[in-house]
Amino acid sequence: MIFDLAVSLFFSLPPSYPNAMGEDLLRKCGIDPSYDIVTTWQQKRSRLELPRIEELSNIIEEALRDDMKIPISKWLFKRFLDNDFNNRCTVADVGIIFKDGFRGSTHGRYEDGYHFFWDNNIRSLLERLVPMGRAIRNTSQSMSILNMRPDFGFIHSKVCPFRGEEKSDLNGENPRSELRDKLVWTYGDVPYVLGYYANGAKVTYVTITHPVTGSGKPNIVTLADSDLRRRRDRIINIKRIINISSLIEPITHAIGWREATEFLPIMRNDKTIVVGGTGIKKEYTDKTYAMRDYRISKLRSVYRALAAIKVPNVDRLSHSFCDLKHGAVAYLVPRGMDVKPSNARKMLEALACILEALVVMHKGAKPIYHRDIRWPNVIRQPGDMKPSRWFLIDWDDATSLPTKAAKHLDQSNHAPEVFQNNHGGEVDIWSVEQLMRETHILALSKDIKAAGRWMQRRKYRPTAEDALKTINDLLVIEKAREEVEEQDEDEEADED
């Protein structure tokens, strides 16, 4: 117990712990309170580049140098030694994380009884080592929520580079499978993220790797196993967390910018949105039940209309409910990648997908107008599909004839007609060109720019069909240009 007391005390104190009470407690445990070991770990283990997958097993087992070990008293060092067969801890074991100088656990067998144990051995260390990150835990027992979020997640720069699935030793479910099943790969070409799964005190660290084909499920690769009932394994676990913490920032840097934060609520004036593992949860928070019920009913109606005319490249309403006890909630699928196109070809592919949807939406006696086409509402489908596929989301402002002015929308990025009654499909066409502007891609051809100006003319804007034909023609030209450039690069490489 002295080991758990010392480690728990050391890592549970906040970064500003040097005060009389904190220093006295640390000294009583034989730990030098003036030694800032966490800063040493952060500096010595920082990494600028993302390591290769085959290097990860060695990285998380990498030994700590002497200047990275916690200095403790000889008395405390000896107290950590144990000859008990089931909890054997030798001088070499203690020396993994501690050094001579001044300066495990049994819990209830149900899952709730392990939360403190898992947090004490994983979460608290990560939060100290990566202070810009934020740990989250899914404690809900609702199956719909459990399918949306991992049991544990560590958020850094809006993404979750490290996650965990946890079960008690009495639970028959497979946490390793849940790591795969709860995750839709939305991290682009990044080769892996990290995680763990726990069955009681037995913890296995893993890499969750990029799916091999298309939009399939990721693979789970074991890096290291621990039985945290044993003191030796708890010591080794600290070393592993130190090494894992050095990979958090390179992973998030490789993933890049995201519009929305994974798993954390996005608060807006009238709704709360949570980006889950496989879909999106949207909860309407209007003050009156009547308004919440109206918005859920309208959303259901819009999605029924989209399905009835088979509109391509749009998301789907999985299920929804509205009552006084649970609120007004909609679950939307699939989850995609909230990224902007990185080059002209991908931009044209995205515009073509949106126009394919508008062609169907704008036809018939009851056309559907989205009215809020912006990049936050245009999502890339996960996977390595070529050409890239994109879909349209967020139908709260969608409407049909007769249309009324949407005066609540932002005038800086919406068509001027949308603020007047009796507008039509021209407002969506205007927004398609606005997408082109807001990609901020500099290397656009004159023809692409001309097509954009065409779609934002004050009068006689093209129909969705005409705009789609033009964008597809430009896409053929852009693909041919890329192929020529690739051939030129290959020839130059051969000459070298």
Which domain CATH number covers 439? 1.10.510.10
| Statement to judge: residues 62 and 205 lie in one domain | yes
Final residue in a domain of this structure, among 230, 255, 280:
255
| Statement to judge: residues 226 and 324 lie in one domain | no
Q: Could you read off the pLDDT of 476-485 as tens digits, one per residue?
A: 999 999 888 8
Final residue in a domain of this structure, among 277, 302, 333:
333
pLDDT at position 330 is 95
pLDDT at position 42 is 72
pLDDT at position 173 is 81
| Statement to judge: residues 317 and 390 lie in one domain | no
| Statement to judge: residues 308 and 435 lie in one domain | no
pLDDT at position 260 is 82
pLDDT at position 30 is 55
pTM over 0.85: no
pLDDT at position 404 is 97
Tell me the mean pLDDT in the region 284-304.
95
- Could you give the percent of the chain with pLDDT greater than 90? 53
Q: What span, in angstroms and rounded, lies between the C-alpha atoms of 279 and 334? A: 5
The beta strands (E) that lie in 200-325 are given as 202-209, 219-227, 266-267, 271-275, 280-284, 316-323
Q: What span, in angstroms and rounded, lies between the C-alpha atoms of 336 and 334? A: 6
- Is residue 406 in a domain? yes
For residue 489, is pLDDT > 80?
A: no
**Distances 38 to 98, 273, 304, 367 between C-alpha atoms, Å:** 13, 35, 55, 60
pLDDT at position 70 is 79
Residue at token pair 């500003």: 16
- Is residue 67 in a domain? yes
| Higher pLDDT pick, 229 / 470 | 470
For residue 16, is pLDDT > 50?
A: no
Confidence band (pLDDT; 50, 70, 90) for 145?
Answer: very low
pLDDT at position 112 is 60
pLDDT at position 20 is 43
| Statement to judge: residues 97 and 210 lie in one domain | yes
Weakest-pLDDT range from 157-161, 294-298, 365-369, 385-389: 385-389
Contact between 468 and 356 under an 8 Å Cβ cutoff? The reply is: yes
| Higher pLDDT pick, 83 / 438 | 438
Q: What span, in angstroms and rounded, lies between the C-alpha atoms of 424 and 484? A: 41
Confidence band (pLDDT; 50, 70, 90) for 107?
Answer: very low
Lookup: tokens for 199:
């069955």
Contact between 340 and 439 under an 8 Å Cβ cutoff? The reply is: yes
pLDDT at position 360 is 98
| Statement to judge: residues 321 and 387 lie in one domain | no
Contact between 367 and 357 under an 8 Å Cβ cutoff? The reply is: no
For residue 83, is pLDDT > 70?
A: no
- Is residue 283 in a domain? yes
| Statement to judge: residues 289 and 372 lie in one domain | no
Tell me the mean pLDDT in the region 183-209.
93
Tell me the mean pLDDT in the region 196-217.
87
In 3D space, the residue among 372, 366, 423 whose CA is nearest the CA of residue 400 turns out to be 366
Q: What is the mean pLDDT of the chain?
A: 85
- Could you give the percent of the chain with pLDDT greater than 70? 83
| Statement to judge: residues 364 and 315 lie in one domain | no
What range defines the domain where residue 318 resides?
266-333
| Statement to judge: residues 307 and 363 lie in one domain | no
**Distances 31 to 11, 22, 72, 101 between C-alpha atoms, Å:** 12, 11, 5, 9
For residue 353, is pLDDT > 60?
A: yes
pLDDT at position 266 is 86
Final residue in a domain of this structure, among 292, 314, 333:
333
Confidence band (pLDDT; 50, 70, 90) for 105?
Answer: very low
How many Cβ atoms sit within 10 Å of the Cβ of residue 494? 7
Weakest-pLDDT range from 102-116, 207-221, 451-465: 102-116
For residue 109, is pLDDT > 60?
A: no
Tell me the mean pLDDT in the region 37-57.
78
**Structural Rg of the chain based on CA atoms:** 27
For residue 126, is pLDDT > 80?
A: yes
- Is residue 338 in a domain? no
From the number of C-beta atoms within 10 Å of its C-beta (0-12, 13-18, 19+), residue 157 rates as middle
Residue 313 zone, left/alpha/beta (φ > 0; ψ -120 to 50; rest): left
| Statement to judge: residues 218 and 278 lie in one domain | no
Tell me the mean pLDDT in the region 90-95.
85
Lookup: tokens for 323:
């009552």
pLDDT at position 6 is 56
Confidence band (pLDDT; 50, 70, 90) for 383?
Answer: confident
For residue 369, is pLDDT > 50?
A: yes
pLDDT at position 78 is 76
- Is residue 74 in a domain? yes
- Is residue 32 in a domain? yes
| Statement to judge: residues 290 and 226 lie in one domain | no
For residue 104, is pLDDT > 50?
A: no
| Statement to judge: residues 245 and 276 lie in one domain | no
- Is residue 260 in a domain? no
Confidence band (pLDDT; 50, 70, 90) for 77?
Answer: confident
58, 64, 65, 67 alpha-carbon torsion, rounded to 10°: 150
- Is residue 201 in a domain? yes
Q: What span, in angstroms and rounded, lies between the C-alpha atoms of 299 and 395? A: 7
Question: What's the structural domain count of the chain?
Answer: 3
In 3D space, the residue among 77, 100, 74, 107 whose CA is nearest the CA of residue 89 turns out to be 77
